[in-house]
Amino acid sequence: MRNGAEILKLGTLTITWWCIIFGAVWIACYLVGVAIPMLLSSYDSDAARITAETCRALTPILSVLVFIPINAMFMVLFERRGLAIFTVRLGPNRVGPDGYLQTAADAVKLLFKEDITPHGADAFMFTLAPIVFFAPSIFGAMPLLAAVTNYHELFQIVNLPTGIFFILAASSVPVVGIVMGGWASNNKYSLVGGLRSAAQAISYEIPLVLSLVTICLLAGSLDVVEIMKQQAGGILNWNILGGGALRGLDSALALKFSNSAPALQELSAKSFDQVLKTAYSDPAAAALGLVAGQDSMATIASIIAVVVLMACVLIAAGLYMTGACAEINRIPFDLPEAESELVSGYNTEYSGIKFAIFFLAEFTNLFVVASIFVVMFLGGGDCPVPAWLGNMLGGPQMASAINQVLSPLIAIKFVDPPTLFAAIWVILKVYGIVFFAVLVRGTLPRFRIDQLMDFGWKRLIPLSLIVFVLVVFAREFVNVHVGS
Amino acid sequence: MATDTEVDLTPRLKTDEMLINMGPQHPATHGVLRLILTLDGEIVRHTEPILGHLHRAQEWQGQNRTWFQYQALIDRVDYLSGMFTSWAMARAAEVVDGCEVPERAEYLRVMVSEMNRITSHLLWLGTYLIDLGAMFGFPFYPFREREKLLELFEEIAGQRMMFNYIRIGGVMRNPKDAWLSKLKKFTEEFPDRVDEYEAIVTENPIFLKRTKGIGILRKELGMDYGITGPSIRASGVNIDLRRTKPYSVYPKLKFDVPVNDRDGDTFDRYIFRIREMRQSNEIIKQCLDMLPQGEISGKKQIAGLRVKAGEGFAAVESPRGTLGCYIISNGSDRAYRIKWRNPSFCNLSILPELLKNHPIADVMAIFGSIDVILPDVDR
């Protein structure tokens, strides 16, 4: 660990900035969503009621509007410091204490820079492009908000029954902004960048969507909150490990290790193996066993199905990450802004606030795709430690101690413990994915455009279709989320 | 029917070719090269390099500065391998003057120039990966090792890049024992570092995809264009002045000249530079063991340094190829005429041939692989 000191610094920096981000968003939400309506509730008038309701309804939007700029600012810093560690450098450490304010200073600089519209550019389109690029990342992520806050009452309003469909639809809009900006810049490099982006987005959206469709198929729902709730109860239930195929194992282990008296009684009646057996002899698998006249056939079919499911979902997760990297133009798929070929691609001619918006949107998009991954594959705000293991490790005591400490805040409704824990887990997981993306950025060179297309159409799309078909069959032989 | 009814059979769907200016301010053209590319879609059909943005009249300056002054200037011609330009000029001047170079000085010259070959290849390695789009990660690792060598250069020559260390008749300064032991330590750990680079790059699937089979330089074509250095050795021409026209103490040293057995692509040019770095490291090790005691200069290093009348040519093997210097002296304190043969200039001439029918994304991959230094082209 030659970089131990730097890693430690990155850790403290991350925690400090998380506190800032959380503090700002939490206070804003509390003021608008809880405090003002509480104050207004003492007045018994229609106007007061309508105002209170409006405030509540505006809370999700407000939280996103507060969250995105601060978070993107931190992500830039996180990426720069993280990359610095990978590349034996120090990274920005001069502005503010140990570089904490570097991106704030950068943002101020960008705001005050001259906003140039190049000669011969289509001024209207040129201005519209960054907006079209940025807006979807605000409204597109709304349904996720309901999922990552553990379906808190203030955020229920933004949930949609077809949540993931809406998110994917919204996340494919920004490419229009890139093409628009590339075309309107009156610059050949920008134009090539914009067109490349369109080609790339079309090619890579297919494996991306197919991998998520696979998960929706396992979950039997398009509702992100529903998908998140199904994965509750520890890492074995998460979609990344077989899409719920290990649920039976989880409940068997829970029985085995639970110390409470009723469970003990149940355990005496039902042995560990029997629980496993009932979990892994789905009707379809059992039917197979009946036909063959063998009881173990059903179990074998189930186990094969579990293995297939686990492999398929892992591949789907990889496909999603690949597609998402291409979708948000990150290395190794950053062809639209390929610096060694196209100067800076579609945003070559942009400066000042418009460039800042492009920049902001890029990092917000990274955060959004990481959040989608967390909600769809990593159980959203779920604690990775299964409840039975948590009980053994003294989880409930810790939770009640935290509740004790926070009780004054809970009393004024400032803190809702399930939401708080969910938010903490989500941010940890999302930044884990972001860290992975930074690592990839620090490792890989860039594809060439024709190789990129080959890779997308000849490898990823067939693979995602195969995975989808395999999952269709495999889920018939084991209890996944839907059945249980 | 008359000829005016003949049907035009050329395809009607032909799109216009696009002219695109790459550089001189393009972020990826190292230095200030301007390429006028004629693109058919994304495929390069024709390339025209425009030179001269960095012309500094180095040859003319040689006739208007004293030998002593010009020695300090000439490092700037190929700023990544200043030792070699100094050495080429010193050797040419020694040929003209006929002065003896002490053996210790020759060993020191070999040592510092092989160190310089390593720094030059390391910088090439880092920037080449940037050309391929690995913007942030790997390129910094070679710089870590380069930094150590630059510190050693600073200690012995007082400068990190413009060394002015190799002088007419010898070298400038005697290294201290501490310096030698530091260098020894570096040579011991350097092969591991090269293994590290190879672990990240040589088997990286995206790197292989981007470099294998791209920009193939045919042996005969390369010879016609007068390409020298690792670029042509990667295409199978065994030309390395250190072996083919031995100078200094190279005949006494044991090292291999890696030569390819087929026409090289950009990947070959990469792997042969890596192998050369390993060989250079071996050479430094041997020099450290064999370094004799004695004088370090056969000529007094004074401002009024003179070279006897006459003319002569000498060349050294720089990291980029054959670096030659032709001198006519009339016995005064400055040269009558100096002519340089710069490897970058000759190597760049192959670029339009190599780029033909490659997509625009490969322009930088190929241009980077022939390792051109623009001041060395324009002088």
Give the pLDDT confidence of A188-203 residue by residue, as tens digits: 888 888 888 888 888 8
> Would you say B94 and B101 are in contact if contact means Cβ atoms under 8 Å apart?
yes
Helix (H) or strand (E) holding A465: helix A461-474
Q: Tokens representing A230?
A: 């199904």
- CB atoms A88 and B141 under 8 Å: yes
pLDDT of residue A466: 92
Question: Looking at the domain assignment, is residue B13 inside a domain?
Answer: no
**DSSP conformation letters of A81-147:** HHHHHHTT---S--SSGGGTTHHHHHHHHHHHS-----TT--HHHHHHHHHHHHHHHHHTTHHHHHH
Would residue A122 be called left, alpha or beta, if left means φ above 0 and alpha means ψ between -120 and 50 degrees? beta
- CB atoms A341 and B134 under 8 Å: no
The mean per-residue pLDDT over the stretch A299-314 comes to 82
Which residues are bridge partners to A191 per DSSP? none
Sign of the Cα torsion A149, A154, A158, A163 reads positive
pLDDT of residue A378: 87
CA–CA separation, B212 and B205 (whole Å): 10
The mean per-residue pLDDT over the stretch B204-220 comes to 85
Interchain contact A431–B (C-beta under 8 A): no
Widest distance between CA atoms in chain A: 82
Count other Cβ atoms within 10 Å, centred on residue B196: 15
CA–CA separation, A224 and A240 (whole Å): 15
User: Does the bond joining A174 to the residue before it have cis omega, within 30 degrees of 0?
Assistant: no
pLDDT of residue A274: 63
Interchain contact A86–B (C-beta under 8 A): yes
B248 closest CA partner among B314, B187, B153, B325: B314
Burial (CB count <10 Å: 0-12, 13-18, 19+), residue A193:
buried
Give residue B314's identity as a one-letter amino acid code: A
Sheet holding B18-22, edge to edge: B18-22, B34-40, B43-50
Burial (CB count <10 Å: 0-12, 13-18, 19+), residue B191:
middle
Question: Looking at the domain assignment, is residue B9 inside a domain?
Answer: no
Q: Which of A344, A449, A451 sits opposite B209 (nearest CB)?
A: A451
Give the confidence band of A353 by pLDDT, cuts at 50, 70, 90: confident
How far is the alpha carbon of A211 from chain B, nearest alpha carbon, in Å?
Answer: 23
How far is the alpha carbon of A344 from chain B, nearest alpha carbon, in Å?
Answer: 9
Strands B310-318 and B170-171 turn out to be unpaired
Q: Helix, strand, or coil here: B6? A: coil
> Would you say A467 and A214 are in contact if contact means Cβ atoms under 8 Å apart?
yes
Does the predicted interface ipTM exceed a cut of 0.85?
no
Interchain contact A341–B (C-beta under 8 A): yes
Q: Out of A17-31, A327-341, A375-389, B104-118, which region has the weakest mean confidence (pLDDT)?
A: A327-341
Sheet holding B310-318, edge to edge: B310-318, B321-329, B335-341
Interchain contact A343–B (C-beta under 8 A): yes
Q: Out of A37-41, A164-168, B83-87, B325-329, which region has the weakest mean confidence (pLDDT)?
A: A37-41
The mean per-residue pLDDT over the stretch B37-56 comes to 84
Burial (CB count <10 Å: 0-12, 13-18, 19+), residue A275:
buried
pLDDT of residue B6: 55
Interface test with B, best of A76, A325, A448 (most B CBs within 10 A): A448
Domain total for chain B?
A: 1
Count other Cβ atoms within 10 Å, centred on residue A129: 29
- CB atoms B137 and A442 under 8 Å: yes
The mean per-residue pLDDT over the stretch B70-90 comes to 87
Give this prediction's pTM.
0.82
Q: Which stretch, A63-72, A279-288, A382-391, has highest mean pLDDT?
A: A63-72
CB pairs under 8 A between A and B: 90
pLDDT of residue A280: 66
Count other Cβ atoms within 10 Å, centred on residue A401: 11
Interface test with A, best of B20, B136, B266 (most A CBs within 10 A): B136
Interface test with B, best of A191, A340, A342, A439 (most B CBs within 10 A): A340
Does the structure show a pLDDT above 50 at A484? Answer: no
Backbone angles phi, psi at B321, to 5 degrees: 145, -155
How far is the alpha carbon of A331 from chain B, nearest alpha carbon, in Å?
Answer: 8
Q: How open is the CA angle A335-A465-A249, to the nearest 5 degrees?
A: 110
> Would you say A134 and A171 are in contact if contact means Cβ atoms under 8 Å apart?
no
Which residues are bridge partners to B36 per DSSP? B21, B48
Question: Looking at the domain assignment, is residue B8 inside a domain?
Answer: no
pLDDT of residue A268: 53
Does the structure show a pLDDT above 50 at A101? Answer: yes
Q: Tokens representing A29?
A: 């939400």
- CB atoms A83 and B137 under 8 Å: yes
Count other Cβ atoms within 10 Å, centred on residue A414: 16
> Would you say B318 and B121 are in contact if contact means Cβ atoms under 8 Å apart?
no
Q: Tokens representing B18?
A: 């696009």
Does the structure show a pLDDT above 50 at A138? Answer: yes
- Find where tokens 């989500």 sit: A426
State which residue of chain A sits closest to B26, comparing Cα positions: A343
Give the confidence band of A187 by pLDDT, cuts at 50, 70, 90: confident
- pLDDT single digits (tens) A213-245: 988 888 888 888 888 888 887 788 888 887 777
- CB atoms B137 and A343 under 8 Å: no
Beta-carbon-side half-sphere exposure of residue A299 (alpha carbons within 13 Å): 11
CA–CA separation, A107 and B301 (whole Å): 55
> Would you say A301 and A285 are in contact if contact means Cβ atoms under 8 Å apart?
yes
Mean of per-residue pLDDT scores for chain B: 85
Give residue A136's identity as a one-letter amino acid code: P
Q: Tokens representing A209?
A: 């969507």
Q: Which stretch, A359-373, A394-408, B12-26, B293-307, has highest mean pLDDT?
A: A359-373
Crossing angle (nearest 10°) for helices B177-201 and B140-157: 160
pLDDT of residue A376: 87
In this structure, what DSSP letter does residue B54 have? T
Interchain contact A273–B (C-beta under 8 A): no
Does the structure show a pLDDT above 50 at B62? Answer: yes
A35-40, Cβ contacts within 8 angstroms, sequence gap of 24 or more: A38/A413
CA–CA separation, A15 and A249 (whole Å): 35
- CB atoms B132 and A446 under 8 Å: yes
CA–CA separation, A465 and B240 (whole Å): 54
Helix (H), strand (E) counts: chain A: 22, 0
Helix (H), strand (E) counts: chain B: 15, 8
Does the structure show a pLDDT above 50 at A483? Answer: no
- pLDDT single digits (tens) A280-301: 666 555 555 555 555 666 677 7
Restricting to B residues 3-32, those with a Cβ less than 8 Å away from any Cβ of A are 18, 20, 26-28
| CATH number (domain holding residue B356) | 1.10.645.10
CA–CA separation, A56 and A403 (whole Å): 25
> Would you say B77 and B375 are in contact if contact means Cβ atoms under 8 Å apart?
yes
Q: Which of A87, A188, A450 sits opposite B359 (nearest CB)?
A: A450
How far is the alpha carbon of A319 from chain B, nearest alpha carbon, in Å?
Answer: 17
Give how far Cα A438 sits from Cα of A77, B142, B175, Å: 11, 20, 43
CA–CA separation, A104 and A82 (whole Å): 18
Interchain contact A451–B (C-beta under 8 A): yes
Give the confidence band of A160 by pLDDT, cuts at 50, 70, 90: confident
A177 closest CA partner among A145, A208, A140: A140
- Find where tokens 């030569």 sit: B259
State which residue of chain B sits closest to A336, comparing Cα positions: B361
- Find where tokens 């390792």 sit: B371
A213 closest CA partner among A149, A160, A155, A167: A167
Interchain contact B356–A (C-beta under 8 A): no
From chain B, the residues in CB contact with A445 under 8 A are 129, 132-134, 204, 206-207, 210
Mean of per-residue pLDDT scores for chain A: 81
CA–CA separation, B376 and B379 (whole Å): 5
Does the structure show a pLDDT above 50 at A30? Answer: yes
CA–CA separation, B130 and B141 (whole Å): 12
CA–CA separation, A232 and A381 (whole Å): 8
pLDDT of residue A1: 52
Give how far Cα A200 sits from Cα of A206, A254, A336, A354, A366, Å: 11, 46, 9, 23, 16
Interchain contact B208–A (C-beta under 8 A): no
- CB atoms A446 and B144 under 8 Å: no
CA–CA separation, B85 and B64 (whole Å): 18
Q: Which stretch, A311-325, A396-410, A411-425, B297-311, has highest mean pLDDT?
A: A311-325
pLDDT of residue A465: 92
Q: Helix, strand, or coil here: A281? A: coil
How far is the alpha carbon of B33 from chain A, nearest alpha carbon, in Å?
Answer: 14
Beta-carbon contacts of B69 under 8 Å, excluding residues fewer than 6 positions away, are none
Interface test with B, best of A189, A335, A341 (most B CBs within 10 A): A341
> Would you say A66 and A22 are in contact if contact means Cβ atoms under 8 Å apart?
no
Does the structure show a pLDDT above 60 at A372? Answer: yes
Question: Looking at the domain assignment, is residue B156 inside a domain?
Answer: yes
Q: Which stretch, A166-175, B112-121, B295-304, has highest mean pLDDT?
A: B112-121
The mean per-residue pLDDT over the stretch B184-192 comes to 90
- pLDDT single digits (tens) A458-475: 989 999 999 999 888 887
Q: Which of B28, B129, B359 sits opposite A339 (nearest CB)?
A: B28
- pLDDT single digits (tens) A124-135: 888 899 989 888
Print the domain residue range for B131.
57-378
A76 closest CA partner among A51, A50, A95, A55: A95
The mean per-residue pLDDT over the stretch B16-45 comes to 79
The mean per-residue pLDDT over the stretch A326-354 comes to 79
